[in-house]
Chain A
Amino acid sequence: MAVKMHILVCGGTGCSASASHEVVTELNKELVAHDLTDFAKVVVTGCFGFCERGPIVKIIPDNTFYTRVQPSDAKEIIEEHIIKGRKVQRLLYVAPDTNESVSDSKHMEFYKKQLRIALRNCGFIDPENIEESIARDGYAALGKCLTEMTPAQVIDEIKKSGLRGRGGAGFPTGLKWEIASKSRVGEQKYVVCNADEGDPGAFMDRSLLEGDPHSILEAMAICGYCIGANKGLIYIRAEYPLAIHRLQVAIKQAEEYGLLGKDILGTGFDFEIELRYGAGAFVCGEETALIHSMEGKRGEPTFKPPFPAQSGYLEKPTNVNNVETYANIPVIINKGADWFSSIGTEKSKGTKVFALAGKINNVGLIEVPMGITLREIIYEIGGGIKGGKKFKAVQTGGPSGGCLTEKHLDTPIDYDSLVAAGSMMGSGGMIVMDEDDCMVAIAKFYLGFTVDESCGKCTPCRVGNKRLHEILTKITDGKGTMQDLEELKNLSAVIKDTALCGLGQTSPNPVLSTITNFWDEYVEHVTEKKCRAGQCKALKKYYIDPEKCKGCTACARACPVGAITGTLKNPHVIDQDKCIKCGTCYEKCRFGAISIK
């Protein structure tokens, strides 16, 4: 009897951290115990993008989507669902808007508006089984290129597709390959995959590598064929042990199957791939720094030109692309440039993967067509703002990006509209903020990150960013002046113009963009010493409501600096000049008489 059900269990980093492997063990035990191993089969897959509610278990064919599954739930899943066809209600996902459980993934708003091209195999196949990848057309595109197309034809197809780099800048991929192919013909060349992924909160590339490593290997080989390289290198941060493991397994299997190595598919084309490990510095994601790091030198950027296509790894022509960029290649070859370019906007084709995070109900990894609006992402896929609070802004592009606000909710998202709005696509971090977030503090957070990650090679970035951070700290401490706000703008402009690499050139973006969109908040911090989100501790003011105060003296006795005065049974008062905003009185008062403004 053929297997009639598959139990897909997420084996991504998020779900593994919450013990999905034990769920697998228990499910298998139960299948054996009930003599069902011929009827149902457990398959470990990559990330479903719903990591926050992991471990995820999905039942095929009915698409039932179970969240937060514990090893102890295995018995009920097998006995109720697999044997009797009854869903385990308590494990189903509950929709935030209706509060009702959702029967299957097809009815989850989170998935409805998604279009999965790069993530097509994540959460679908067993990434450690090359045959499952082959079943989903893995290596078919490579085969097609090697047997039916010339390198120039492949490059042409990629150019026609309109694919742009997903690593940040959005450079046209086909054009990049063409330049590399024409560069120093006949010499040793290299294909590099940038899997450094240093943005805080980003995990798009990690999930792709964990869930579908073969697509990346295949795309790198296709690139090698196009530009005339037979060696590929994947630069991956050492903090990604599971992605590294999956890549190692995939490379080994591809070699065994003859899909990497010598004479691939009998066409005479050779291609091999090696891994290189990064120590996790953000700047090493910049392509020149990345190349230096792979060469064993210090991971510092150098001036471009020369571009890697002219002189890259070991001074040889090198093509660097991001993981997600590569993930799109095989599909474009298989389905054609016309199909791909029918998706998206005029100048941004295809889809983009985002890591949706922050104050939103459905946190996770999503892939959406270019041109979707923020409103659709936040209120449909994301299920709205947590706790019904008011939306304030979305930060895209991480530390190099900026924020979008209410007025951008209906703007179609693509490379150009984000830049026009003062932000950028970046690698795909998307952090949602609500009324409780202070925009000055957000800018300070990103600047703090930049200051830590600056390599220190050039002065505008090393000194300038530190200075920006100091001014922001001054403002959040309630010591800022209007002069400081002018200084922020001027200094930002100088850093942007004079920094050596992309890190410094984009580091003032979070400041500039919050100044543009939330000027009032900056001014309030400076002139009224007020933080409307209540985030800047130094600007908090504690008040005692004389109507509510019973004069119990508890607060006065607890205040560490003696800022509270008053007599028994009479309303107390806080001396704002003495108060150090420690919050002790607020916690002590049993009558709710103390409020924060």
Chain B
Amino acid sequence: MNKIKNLAELRKVKEGMQSRMSMREKADSSEAIIQIKVGMATSGIASGAKETMNYLITELDKRNIKALVMQVGDMGYSYAEPTVEVTIPGKDPVVFGEVKIPRAQEIIEKYIIGGELIEGILPANYRSI
């Protein structure tokens, strides 16, 4: 490692660590930011939950939206996989079914950014774990 010679270089090191630390920072203040849970049970994975999750993470990042995307187990909606639960601070969690990439995009643009409800909302019949 070369010596850090000035304040600007110190800031650069900090920025270089951003991607590594941001997940932990976000988890630490999870109650204050958007939380997204992606159901990752076997049926979820088979129906593309991994792709959905990767898409959500990259897209939100790209748009600079602070959100915590995490995988959870079976959410009890095997008929509508992949399922995604979105919690906006101060609002009740909303679960969306059959979230492939197009609907994931809709969730970001319409529900998260626009604040409007979209199709595919499932009844809240599950217990969050």
Which residue numbers of A lie inside 8 Å of B, CB to CB? 1-6, 8, 60-63, 84-87, 103, 106, 124, 131-132, 134-137, 139-140, 143, 147, 256-259, 265-266
Contacts and interface: CB of A to CB of B under 8 A. Distances in A.
Nearest to B12: A134
Interface stretch (B3-11, B94-102, B103-111, B118-126): B3-11
B72 A62 contact: yes
B17 A139 contact: no
A132 B18 CA distance: 9
B13 A85 contact: no
B38 to A, nearest CB: 8
Highest count of chain A CB atoms <10 Å: which of B41, B42, B72: B72
Q: In the complex, which of the residues B6, B11, B16, B74 has the most CB atoms of chain A within 10 Å of its own CB atom?
A: B6
Nearest to A104: B30
A134 B10 contact: yes
B14 A137 contact: yes
B7 A135 contact: no
Contacts of A140: 10-11, 14
Given A85-B41, A132-B17, A147 B7 contact: yes
Contacts of B72: 62, 85-86
- Grouping DSSP codes into helix (H, G, I), strand (E, B) and loop, the A interface class, with mixed when no group exceeds half, is loop
Nearest to A45: B24
Contacts of A103: 128-129
Interface string B28-43: 1011000000111110
Contacts of A134: 10, 13-14, 17
Contacts of B30: 61, 63, 106
16 contacts: A4-B53, A61-B23, A61-B30, A61-B70, A62-B70, A87-B73, A87-B129, A106-B30, A106-B31, A135-B13, A135-B18, A140-B11, A143-B7, A257-B1, A257-B4, A258-B3
Contacts of B60: none
Given A2-B19, A132-B21, A136-B21, A61 B10 contact: no
A86 to B, nearest CB: 4
Contacts of A137: 14
B28 to A, nearest CB: 7
Contact of A266 (B6, B31, B57, B69): B6
A61 B73 contact: no
A147 B5 CA distance: 13
B27 A135 contact: no
B45 to A, nearest CB: 8
Contacts of A2: 19, 57
Given A257-B1, A258-B3, A84 B41 contact: yes
Contacts of B17: 131-132, 134-135
Contacts of B23: 3-6, 60-61
Contacts of B129: 86-87, 103
Contacts of B31: 106
Contacts of A84: 40-42, 73
A380 B2 CA distance: 48
Contacts of A1: 54
A265 B7 CA distance: 6
B30 to A, nearest CB: 6
B19 to A, nearest CB: 6
Contacts of B53: 4
Contact of B57 (A4, A85, A135, A256): A4
A256 B13 CA distance: 14
B63 interface: no
Contact of A265 (B4, B39, B57, B128): B4
- 9 cross-chain pairs, A with B, having the tightest CB-CB distances, nearest first: A258-B3, A135-B17, A86-B73, A85-B40, A85-B71, A135-B21, A61-B27, A143-B7, A61-B70
Contacts of A258: 3-5
Contacts of B27: 60-63
Contacts of A6: 23-24
B16 A131 contact: yes
A61 B1 contact: no
Given A84-B73, A85-B72, A87-B129, 9 more contacts: A84-B40, A132-B17, A134-B10, A137-B14, A143-B10, A256-B3, A258-B5, A259-B4, A265-B5
B6 A265 contact: yes
B68 interface: yes
A486 B7 CA distance: 64
Nearest to A86: B73
Contacts of B14: 134-135, 137, 140
A265 B72 CA distance: 45
Nearest to A264: B4
A87 B30 CA distance: 18
Contacts of A8: 24
B26 interface: yes
Given A124-B28, A140-B10, A265-B10, A257 B3 contact: yes
A137 B17 CA distance: 11
Nearest to A58: B27
Most chain B beta-carbon contacts within 10 A, residue among A6, A61, A259:
A61
Interface string B45-64: 00000000110010000000
A6 B19 CA distance: 12
Nearest to B71: A85
B20 interface: yes
B1 A85 contact: no
Nearest to B26: A61
